[in-house]
Amino acid sequence: MFSKQLLKWYEQYGRYDLPWQKNPTAYRVWISEIMLQQTQVTTVIPYYERFMKRFPTIKKLATATEDDVLLHWSGLGYYARARNIYKTAKIITEQYHGHFPETVDTISELPGIGKSTAGAIISFAYQKKAVILDGNVKRVLARYFAIESPINQKDTIEKMWACAEKLTPRQNAHHYNQAIMDLGATLCTRTKPRCAECPFIKTCQAHQQQKPTFYPIKTVKKSRPLKKIRMLIIYKNKNEILLLKRPASGIWGGLWSFPEKSEGGSGSNPSEEIFQIAQIPLQLKLINTLPTITHQFTHFTLEISPIIFRVKNQMLLKKLNTNEFFWYKLSTKLPGGVAAPVKNILDAL
């Protein structure tokens, strides 16, 4: 009954014109599903179209450089997604001759692909029965059944998978999966759900209780700690500034950024200071400061104080490793991906 009602609603109100719904190959579905993790559809669409224009096939993606992939991901955040996409593209090209596997278990073994994403690929690309349980689906089910336990607990997730398995029909599973995601994205939203327009208004338990936004229940998160850093914007001349490539692991892994220094120690606004960069003592003269930027991560808040310097001992600059450092000429093409705060600083210079 649930699936029939949902499919009837989808036939009239579902979304049929999303870019990844046109020619839904496994590659195109995969890229869209990864981009849609933690990100709204309206935000994803321009990034997806730009990404697919640059990397129209999995072979093009696998033979690109990681810098190029990160460059085309810049602004979407959660950059581990892009690094895993690059790894997976290489694995599929080298081990599967460029063809996506066709089972959930095999796809789930690839970097960055979980059970729900694998199910979406099987369902939308191959039109086979497969179950999905993304954020939208969890919210719909949590409200429909008024699930009282936190949905981020392991036992609750297992129960929701079993529930989703029972509800997903064998026939037209790809339409059902798209329908339940559309319902969560358009009507059963996180805030201000449009219950009056929902096909389940008479059977949804959360609506019967008159508290739909009470669900889904989540465990209370601890307050995020605050970390403070200074980003050093180092000019060599009027329009060339120093960028460095961050380590592959950690926040903004593999992206280009400014040299950093933790707050404290020698003061937040030094007028003249010697910084060790790549074991090279660069003597810097303070030129200006920019307004503080606050950036939210999942587990902490980062407070960035951008400080503009000019190098005094320029002879030492030749010693910088060009594989890790890059003198970027403002308003030209970046050497690779940059995080949103870095892009904002560059735009302000």
Q: What is the pLDDT of residues 108-139, one digit of tens each?
A: 999 999 999 999 999 999 999 999 999 999 99
Q: Select from 2.40.30.10, 1.10.340.30, 3.40.50.2000, 3.10.20.740 the CATH code of 1-209.
A: 1.10.340.30
The answer to whether domain 1-209 and domain 226-348 are alike in fold is no
Mean pLDDT of 305-317: 81
What is the pLDDT at residue 272?
A: 44
- What is the SS3 assignment for 338? strand
CATH number of 226-348: 3.90.79.10
Q: Which two tokens stand for residue 213?
A: 């936004």
What is the pLDDT at residue 221?
A: 74
Pair 176, 119: CB distance under 8 Å: no
Length of the chain: 349
Report the C-alpha gap between 218 and 226 in whole angstroms: 23
Cα–Cα distances (Å) from 32 to 17, 216, 282, 336, in that order, read 14, 25, 44, 21
| Residues catalogued as catalytic | 33
What are the sequence ranges of the domains in the chain? 1-209, 226-348
Q: What are phi and psi of 101, to 5 degrees?
A: -60, 165
Q: At what angle do helices 135-144 and 173-186 cross, to 10 degrees?
A: 80
What is the pLDDT at residue 269?
A: 41
Choose between 277 and 330: higher pLDDT: 330
Neighbours of 210 (CB within 10 A): 8
Q: Which two tokens stand for residue 332?
A: 């030209």
Mean pLDDT of 307-320: 76
Model confidence pLDDT, tens digit, residues 42-84? 999 999 999 999 999 999 999 999 999 999 999 898 899 999 9
Model confidence pLDDT, tens digit, residues 201-210? 999 999 999 9
- How many H-runs (helices) and E-runs (strands) does the chain carry? 13, 9
